[in-house]
Every structure is written in structure tokens, then in C-alpha cells.
Amino acid sequence: MNIKDAFNNYLRYGSFPYVSQLEKNDNMVRTYLDGVYNTILIKDIAKRKGIADISLLESVIKFLCSSIGSPVSIKKISDTINSAGRKISVNTVETYVRALVDSFIFYKVDRYDLKGKQYLKTLGKYYIADTGLRNMLLTGASADLGHQLENIVYLELLRRQNKVNIGKLAEKEIDFVTNNAGGICYYQVSASVLDENTLKRELAPLQKITDAHPKYLLTLDEIMPNANHEGIRQINVLDWLIGNISLA
């Protein structure tokens, strides 16, 4: 299997080890992931956290899945579920979301004001631990390539032992700001920037940063090695994921 096919399978089916043994049979994979979701996630979380209303918990899970890569507030989750005819308080949503984060089903990423040098308390983002679970829960999620790619990049940044935040600089937002023993790095993630307007939009936040820390644009586009936009390196995300490129 070539790297593109392997990546597409990872994107579609996720990364639970047993999934790779199911020969990419959609029905078998879905049955397995459904079992993981219901047996391990729902029942385990509900039992440990004393959550009685499983359907409300699932509503919160599906909201977070559909909002991957977008700023989310607890109140917005509550308002959305209430508008659909279910009653749930802000405090209950907060309890459920905290249970999901504590169980490492979702990861919360805080926003960091690069100019003010402080963390912002509102509108963080959430990423799921496995994209296969998200695809199982959301019909049509596979078409949401940009946000799924962002989710995968976030998980890889964590795996590389980075401290990860969302960067805010005035009205601009940087997808990820990382900090580890090697220092600070900035990342923008986009499925494709072949369109000139998309490229300008993705580069704009990084161009506003005046320090000398490394800046990267990760895309699925096939590009020349060491593509550079005035100091911002554009890298094919598959090469980046397998470590097939130097970040020096």
C-alpha cells in the first residue's frame, strides 16, 4: 500500500489498531467502531461520571464532532441542543464536556493572545482522539477534509510532545502555536492552497507574526521541496507526518 492510500485509510477509518485487521470492510469497521463507542466511551464515561441521560451526552458528543476546528463555547452547545427541543443547562454541558476531556475522548485547545502574552478563557477548540469515530457518528464527515486534516495535525503535534495552543494576533488566528524543548513554532493547516486567494488567506496570519520562530504551512498539495513564501515553509502534510522532511 502506498503512502496516499494508507493516509486515506487513516483519514477514513481512524487509528484503532484492530481496524487495520478488518481489511477495510466498511461494515466491519463501522460495527467495530460502534462497539468501541457504545461499550467503552458511552457506558464507561456515563458510569464513572454518574451521567444518567445518555442521549443528552451523545448530543454533546455529536456537537463537538461537528465543530472540530471551530471555536466553541459551552453556552453555544447548550443553546444549540435546546433549540433542537432538548433541555440542557450550561452547567450540565460543562460537566459533560469536562468528562469527555478528562477521558481523553476529546482534547481542548486554548487560545493564546500572542501580543498580550496571555491565555484567553473563551472560544477554545476541541479535537477528537480518533477520526474514524467522528466519521462513524457524522454522516458526510468525510467531505470535511480541512477540519479532519487539522485534527490529525493536532494529534501528531501532541505525539511529538508539544504544548499546543491556538494563536490569536489581533483579528488573525494561527491554527497552532507549539512550544517544546526545541522552541516555538507556528502552523497553518489547509487541505489545498492551489487557489491564489486561499493561499493568501492562509499565509496572512503567519505574515503578521514579527518574531523569527519557524512558520509552516501544511497542505496536501504536491509541491517542490523546500517551497518557501518569504520565510514561511510550505510542506506536504504526508511528508511531515512520516518525518520524511527536515524542519531545520
Pairing of strands 118-128, 106-113: antiparallel
pLDDT of residue 49: 86
Say whether pLDDT at 248 is over 80: no
**Is there a domain that residue 209 lies in?**
yes
What separation in angstroms does the CA of 230 have from each of 19, 113, 204, 215, 216?
42, 24, 12, 10, 11
pLDDT tens digits for 45-83?
Answer: 888 888 889 999 999 999 999 999 899 999 999 999 999
Which stretch of DSSP H or E encloses residue 113? strand 106-113
Q: What is the pLDDT of residues 111-123, one digit of tens each?
A: 998 988 888 888 8
User: Of 219, 223, 104, whose CA–CA distance to 150 is shortest?
Assistant: 219
What are 134-186's pLDDT values in tens digits? 999 987 655 689 999 999 999 999 999 889 999 999 889 999 999 988 899 99
The domain total for the chain is 1
247 located within any domain: no
Is 248 inside any structural domain?
A: no
Q: What is the pLDDT of residue 243?
A: 84
211 DSSP 8-state letter:
S
Residue 208 forms part of a structural domain: yes
